[in-house]
Amino acid sequence: MDFDVLEKTVCFQGFFRLERYRLRHRKFNGEWGRPITRELFERGHAAAVLPYDPQTDEVLLIEQFRAGAMSAPSGPWLLEIVAGVIEANETPEQVVARESIEEANCQIGSLIALYDYLVSPGGTTERIALFCGRVDMQMIETGAVYGNHGEDEDIKVHVMPLNEAIRLLNTGRINSASAIIALQWLALNRDSVRRRWLPE
């Protein structure tokens, strides 16, 4: 191992956890660096899915209030994709199936795994497993509101053409990382996805 954890302290333990590390790592010149201190925000790992109907070329996005975006120029109501925290003994595929029903009353069919990416490795260990999921938009009630009431979720469903979602992305209206990554992937791969999912 080219790094060495010298000390680990739990600074806060609540719904999330904050840990402080004192560590050192080997530098590119081969020498060991001096000890450094870093705090890491621990919230677990997550999975997210962009629901897409290849027949209608539409995507499903959800809108909800996010406290972390209260100071964002566009405000705290964000257009996002379906997502949830991966619980113990749960696969990312199970998470996106569960959360799609909970957040959008949406049944996910086939899944395409896109990326497993680090959200912000300078400050958190969180990873997101990202998917594109096939859905039948005729079964979706756009404008409906869902969510886990025990968690005070208030989530509005939006169904729109992929081109409209890309327009919102390009104007900055969509500014959530997982939604940006998934929509850009779908814009680049739309033709191959439709060939894969549409009958001959």
Beta bridge partner(s), residue 20: 9, 39
DSSP string of 78-96, one letter each residue: EEE-EEEEPPTT--HHHHH
Radius of gyration for the chain, computed over Cα atoms and rounded to the nearest angstrom: 19
Beta-carbon contacts of 133 under 8 Å, excluding residues fewer than 6 positions away, are 49, 50, 51, 52, 96, 100, 108, 109, 110, 111, 112
Q: Is 151 a catalytic residue?
A: yes
Select which of 151, 153, 164, 200 is catalytic: 151
| H or E segment to which residue 111 belongs | strand 111-118
What residues are labeled active site?
151
